Structure 1
Amino acid sequence: MSKLRWHHAAALVATSAAVVLGLAVAPAAGAGGVSATFSKGSDWGTGYEGKYTIKNGGTTARTSWTIEFDLPAGHKLSGLWDGSYTASGQRVTVKNTWNGSIAPGASVSFGFNVGYSGAFTAPTGCKLDGGSCDATGEPPTTTPPTTPPTTTPPTTNPPAPDGKISLGYFAQWGVYGRNYHVKNIVTSGSASKLTHINYAFGNVTNGQCVLGDTYADYDRAYTAADSVDGVADTWDTGALRGSFGQLRKLKKQFPHIKVLFSFGGWTWSGGFGQAAQNAAAFADSCYKLVEDPRWADVFDGIDIDWEYPNACGLTCDSSGFSSFKTLSQALRTRFGQDYLVTAAITADGSNGGKIDAADYGGAAQFLNWYNVMTYDYFGAFNAKGPTAPHSPLTSYDGIPQQGFNSDAAIQKLKSKGVPASKLLLGIGFYGRGWTGVTQSAPGGSATGAAPATYEAGIEDYKVLKSKCPVTGTVAGTAYAHCGSEWWSYDTPATIGGKMTYTKNQGLGGAFFWELSGDTTNGELITALRGGLN
């Protein structure tokens, strides 16, 4: 299965020789049968993003599909997502992965990148299950039975047919005090709703990627009761334990899930500046760590969470405007086209803010997508307030800082040339709060951070929904005033609104921080996944 999902976005082109930007040409009429239609997205002069959409216009559900097509001379496939492929010369054959099921009237798609010399020419010779890609009527008799095999994992709410990404972070340290393990992803029902998991975090020191907690990562032994598959870990030579071992078992049960190893984060971003000074050596160290033979099958790529290039987070970086692009290019070069390479980035949409400090537009060509951290705009790190929602979708009258909202960040990134399909909207599965607050509406004064389970001023949704129920909404998110405490957090309802925004903006999907903040039955991820469908 190809590991790549390298998006560019969205002008469409006809399957014939005539190119019509902004439009997709419908397949030839064929009595409402099954069809496959090519469209072209971004074209950067030496390559383009393509997509085939398979539509079931018949009356029988499909359970699999195979698409074949020819690339013109001088054109070469550089990666493909939402399908597995083989290439023989210029002929490409693509088979479904998780997206084989197509109900009558529904459609699925796969995307790919092509590099070319000379001029763009659309693929030719399209075949769908050996027949024409024009509407062909009912599925061929060779279509497998519609009853899924007994080994198919539960798919209560599977990934959306249009390929929208639903990505969740798994926090390495959650296996300790939070007692949240990979098995909880299954028992909460979250596994069937995720397309990707970011394992957070690896560290960045001395210009290299290194493990952050070897015990949690690969050494902790899980009992049968706590293991994803009900089988206890062993101490046999070569046995993989810890969260890595559990993620391996998770992927076996839910093969549609891709896992990325995320490096950095708020605490461990201080080493990126040094890493950028010798980006090739850094990328090589990351590749060797992610692809360590002991767990190479666990990870499908790498995520970089640099907070923040050429700006200040926990520490300040002065490596320059181009350093992030340099690092991104080195990672893509080392990992190649068949791995996911992504980045979690600032959502500071203010003029002259953190997005303006680094070349996010230039770096996007090397990355599959950006996790735009559209949360933590406001909080009790300003102890006296004013109270404000930490994850506003839009601006509102009285917002403490212009540009500190999700839409401002998304529009700024788009203006820098980042394709919408490479942007994931960030959702916090937690809230931020103050104490000493008398005013229910946003904008009140406070005396400090509200008490909480692990860290003052920040609390999981699963706690807040009962501890301090919502009393109002503002700017597409919720807030709650209970006693002297004031909290802001997203609920299933506000997440639904944010997912509508995500679809309306043509974004690639959404992600969240992090899995353990949700309820034991996955209220928030259910709303997120359902909103993307």
Structure 2
Amino acid sequence: MRFRHRAAAGFATLLLPLAGLVGLASPAQAATNATASFAKTSDWGTGFGGQWTIKNTGTSSIGSWTVEWDFPSGTSVTSAWDADVTNSGTHWTAKNKSYNGTLAPGASVSFGFNGAGPGSPSNCKLNGDSCDGTTVPGDAAPSAPGTPTASGITDTSVKLNWSAATDDKGVKNYDVLRDGSKVATVTGTSYTDSGLTAGTDYSYTVQARDTADQTGPVSGAVKVHTTGGGTTPPPTGGDKVKLGYFTEWGIYGRNYNVKNLVTSGSAAKITHINYAFGNVTNGQCAIGDSYADYDKAFTADQSVSGVADTWDQPLRGNFNQLRELKAKYPNLKVIWSFGGWTWSGGFAQAAANPTAFAQSCYNLVEDPRWADVFDGIDIDWEYPNACGLSCDTSGAAAFKNVMSALRAKFGSKALVTAAVTADGSAGGKIEAADYAGAAQSVDWYNVMTYDFFGAWDAKGPTAPHSPLTSYSGIPKDGFTTADAMAKYKAAGVPASKLLIGIGFYGRGWTGVTQDAPGGTATGPAAGTYEQGIEDYKVLKTSCPANGTVAGTAYAHCGSNWWSYDTPATIASKMTWAKNQGLGGAFFWEFSGDTSNGELVSAINSGLS
């Protein structure tokens, strides 16, 4: 993949209130005028969610408020909402927003934040005066209950049992969560959930509540599939894989949300989604963009369910939207992809200890907050034992070792896949690693059969970036889809484990006078987000295709020359893929398509 990550600050909130500690007052009236109390709302080990609540306990209105507190060294605020939060060293200050500063007598207002580190606030002040807490310090929240076990599964019900949580003052009851939403509160350590739908997947977790009504950490998740009912008919196209990449950063400048998969009709025409990207750093799988992944609150009109996120729900962000999408399309599988062009440099350290790397990936993908969202893991290493953004020297066996370790850890039921090079040239990247050996551990390879040619060669020659076959004048032999697939099959990779790749974008040059491929240029053509590249949805009208070469469309408009796939060229590529016995197709990425998903439709129809 050529487009890569965008970072954003933020940590997820997980509903898990801990004891609050402090309240505040003004000097003359002390705590009779106002109080502020703090509560931890979540804790995920390396960070936590917090909430301050300011209440006017006096008889006249308060026009503004400022809360101050100290954190121990190593604890900090990483993001906040409904207040402007700043710090000087370990001293933190929160001031009201323009819309929530005024408090009538008896009224209260809250603001929240995400923090890093283990500490709690102390030495708090409200509007410069001392604290007067309304919650009891030192009352610890309960521990996490044991992961539930499921038994007695029927078409419409399941019985859950779990081991008890502990608490310094006693556990009062347990909240039972189905797919992240509370369905019951019980006093014992078992519950039978009924009224379910036959043949449907569910995920259950449990959290304890103590006598102060604080909830503790959520337990691990157990996945349940009810009996009967069969399954929803799969999308048309038989057993062929139809996979699209959804980029975590697409929700920013592109304003492309998971809901767009529904409104475009694309979700009903695919079988799998690769969520891109998780990071690979320090030999481990890591979060790519925590704000986009699990913290961003989507409004009702942006949400798959049509319901707005709340600040304190257990899971937000793209992960929750994908959960809602899977509820709407039960057969749709979601795979978390790690690496990509920008983050492939981390694989060298991962390959030095594949078992530890696989364990870290498993821990992240199967995190109980979102374990039900993901059906497996995808590795996008560009490129094993070869050069991409940087050069890797891990050795020919490194890729096989990594994929073998991932399969061993994730087991036979999870999907384990990889995006791989399409360099079919003699002595090229396919020959640099043991792809045939690694194929024994993967469900399929996404062969990146695009980006063969582009304006990184600023003066040309102009050439289609995704040629299906060779043609007279091609700039480099072996840089075609057919060559790549033939080389993988000759090495021993089954055709059924190879997916053809389609780019939902074009690559182009400017300063071109020649219509046909092979012309000279002066540099990359202008693009919306990056020079030399543009979405299909833009090019189809700004520079319509007026020719084809090697199964790919091209267009010469003014001094610009572009190549890209259209519904017609996709149809021919899908026919070729079926004739070759390939496992299906994938594409990079959804937001390049039209609002009605015409390229996704072409892939779906072509594989039917």
Return the TM-score normalized by structure 1. Answer: 0.71
Mapping of 1:79-478 within 5 angstroms?
159-236=235-312, 239-478=314-553
Q: 2: distance between equivalents of 1:348 and 1:529?
A: 26
What residue identity is the alignment partner of 1:210? Answer: A
Cα displacement string for residues 259-309 of structure 1 (whole angstroms, at most 9, x for unaligned residues): 000000000100101100000000000000000000000000000000000
Q: 2: distance between equivalents of 1:101 and 1:243?
A: 26
SS at match of 2:364: helix
SS at match of 1:391: coil
Is the 1:201–1:265 Cα contact (8 Å) retained in structure 2?
yes
What residue identity is the alignment partner of 1:204? Answer: V
1:160 Cα offset (Å): 2.9
Cα gap change, 1:334/1:443 in structure 2, threshold over 3 Å: closer, same or farther? same
Q: 2: distance between equivalents of 1:504 and 1:486?
A: 31
Q: 2: distance between equivalents of 1:191 and 1:97?
A: 22
What residue identity is the alignment partner of 1:327? Answer: V
What residue identity is the alignment partner of 1:299? Answer: F
SS at match of 1:267: helix
Is the 1:324–1:360 Cα contact (8 Å) retained in structure 2?
yes
Cα displacement string for residues 168-212 of structure 1 (whole angstroms, at most 9, x for unaligned residues): 000111000000000000000000001000000000000000001
SS at match of 2:436: helix
Is the 1:396–1:475 Cα contact (8 Å) retained in structure 2?
yes
1:236 Cα offset (Å): 2.1
Cα displacement string for residues 48-71 of structure 1 (whole angstroms, at most 9, x for unaligned residues): xxxxxxxxxxxxxxxxxxxxxxxx
1:162 Cα offset (Å): 2.3
Is the 2:232–2:331 Cα contact (8 Å) retained in structure 1?
no
Q: Gaps (5+ residues) in structure 1? A: 1-93, 103-158
Q: 1: distance between equivalents of 2:230 and 2:325?
A: 15
How many pairs align? 385
Is the 2:232–2:330 Cα contact (8 Å) retained in structure 1?
no
Is the 2:464–2:552 Cα contact (8 Å) retained in structure 1?
yes
What residue identity is the alignment partner of 2:447? Answer: V
Q: 2: distance between equivalents of 1:209 and 1:185?
A: 27
Q: 2: distance between equivalents of 1:101 and 1:484?
A: 49
Q: 2: distance between equivalents of 1:98 and 1:325?
A: 37
Mapping of 1:502-517 within 5 angstroms?
502-517=577-592
Q: 2: distance between equivalents of 1:426 and 1:256?
A: 22
What residue identity is the alignment partner of 1:421? Answer: S
Q: 2: distance between equivalents of 1:289 and 1:426?
A: 27
Is the 1:98–1:256 Cα contact (8 Å) retained in structure 2?
no
SS at match of 2:302: coil
Is the 2:246–2:589 Cα contact (8 Å) retained in structure 1?
yes
1:234 Cα offset (Å): 1.3
Is the 1:164–1:532 Cα contact (8 Å) retained in structure 2?
yes
Is the 1:98–1:255 Cα contact (8 Å) retained in structure 2?
no
SS at match of 2:343: coil
Aligned partner of 1:14 in structure 2 is none
SS at match of 1:268: helix
SS at match of 1:529: helix
Cα gap change, 1:96/1:313 in structure 2, threshold over 3 Å: closer, same or farther? farther
Is the 1:99–1:161 Cα contact (8 Å) retained in structure 2?
no
Q: 2: distance between equivalents of 1:529 and 1:100?
A: 17
Q: Please provide the CA RMSD for this pair.
A: 1.7
Identity of aligned residues (%): 72
SS at match of 2:416: strand
Aligned partner of 1:523 in structure 2 is 598
Cα gap change, 1:362/1:392 in structure 2, threshold over 3 Å: closer, same or farther? same
Aligned partner of 1:480 in structure 2 is 555
What residue identity is the alignment partner of 2:530? Answer: E
SS at match of 1:451: coil
Cα displacement string for residues 31-64 of structure 1 (whole angstroms, at most 9, x for unaligned residues): xxxxxxxxxxxxxxxxxxxxxxxxxxxxxxxxxx
Is the 1:97–1:256 Cα contact (8 Å) retained in structure 2?
no
What residue identity is the alignment partner of 1:511? Answer: F
Cα gap change, 1:473/1:440 in structure 2, threshold over 3 Å: closer, same or farther? same
What residue identity is the alignment partner of 2:569? Answer: T
Is the 1:427–1:510 Cα contact (8 Å) retained in structure 2?
yes
Q: 2: distance between equivalents of 1:211 and 1:98?
A: 36
Is the 1:390–1:431 Cα contact (8 Å) retained in structure 2?
yes
Q: 2: distance between equivalents of 1:227 and 1:162?
A: 30
Q: 1: distance between equivalents of 2:568 and 2:429?
A: 30
1:490 Cα offset (Å): 0.1
Cα gap change, 1:362/1:268 in structure 2, threshold over 3 Å: closer, same or farther? same
What residue identity is the alignment partner of 1:455? Answer: E
1:429 Cα offset (Å): 0.2
1:97 Cα offset (Å): 8.9
Return the TM-score normalized by structure 2. Answer: 0.62
Is the 1:478–1:489 Cα contact (8 Å) retained in structure 2?
yes
Bigger Rg over Cα: 2
SS at match of 1:304: strand
Cα gap change, 1:97/1:400 in structure 2, threshold over 3 Å: closer, same or farther? farther
Is the 2:237–2:605 Cα contact (8 Å) retained in structure 1?
no
Aligned partner of 2:42 in structure 1 is none
